[in-house]
Amino acid sequence: MASSEASSSFVSVDVECAATGRGHNDRAPCRIGAVDETGMAIFDRAVKVPGLFNPLTAITGMTTAMIEKGMELEAAVEELRKKCLGPKVVLVGQAIYKDIQWLSLKRDRGAMTVRCRKSE
């Protein structure tokens, strides 16, 4: 779904992270995925992780080789924005605030709308 074609729809985004060190917060995105409102995969990209310590394969499903062949994070985010997001697209997902933060998505960029409701 190109952003120019996006009607009012929902897109669920998920970001998987690999370890960049031994600490709890030592991680970086290694995979970005998105599905449309019918559950069909519309985006799935491996992302290179500078300083990869451990791919956390059991959690991420990614191997070191898959991550090393991935694209740069900025390029993956730009492709996601162009292909899947638009002014009438509503992002949904589990812990979507963190995924938005990982991807540095901004509400004011004109290419997407972010409507989030914190769970109680």
Could you tell me if residue 119 is inside a domain?
no
The CATH number of the domain holding residue 13 is: 3.30.420.10
Could you tell me if residue 120 is inside a domain?
no
pTM: 0.82
Could you tell me if residue 1 is inside a domain?
no
Arithmetic mean of pLDDT over the chain: 85
The answer to whether residue 67 scores a pLDDT higher than 90 is yes
**Cα separation, 3 vs 17, whole angstroms:** 26
Count up the domains in the chain and report the number.
1
Q: What's the domain range around 81?
A: 9-109
The stretch 43-65 carries a mean pLDDT of 97
Could you tell me if residue 70 is inside a domain?
yes
**Cα separation, 50 vs 64, whole angstroms:** 12
Could you tell me if residue 118 is inside a domain?
no
Q: Which amino acid is present at 10?
A: F
Could you tell me if residue 58 is inside a domain?
yes
The answer to whether residue 120 scores a pLDDT higher than 60 is no
pLDDT the model gives residue 9: 87
Could you tell me if residue 46 is inside a domain?
yes
pLDDT the model gives residue 12: 94
Could you tell me if residue 95 is inside a domain?
yes
The pLDDT tens digits for 6-21 are: 455 899 999 999 999 9
The answer to whether residue 119 scores a pLDDT higher than 50 is no
Per the model's pLDDT, the better-predicted residue between 50 and 86 turns out to be: 50
The pLDDT tens digits for 75-114 are: 999 999 999 988 788 888 888 889 989 998 876 544 444 4
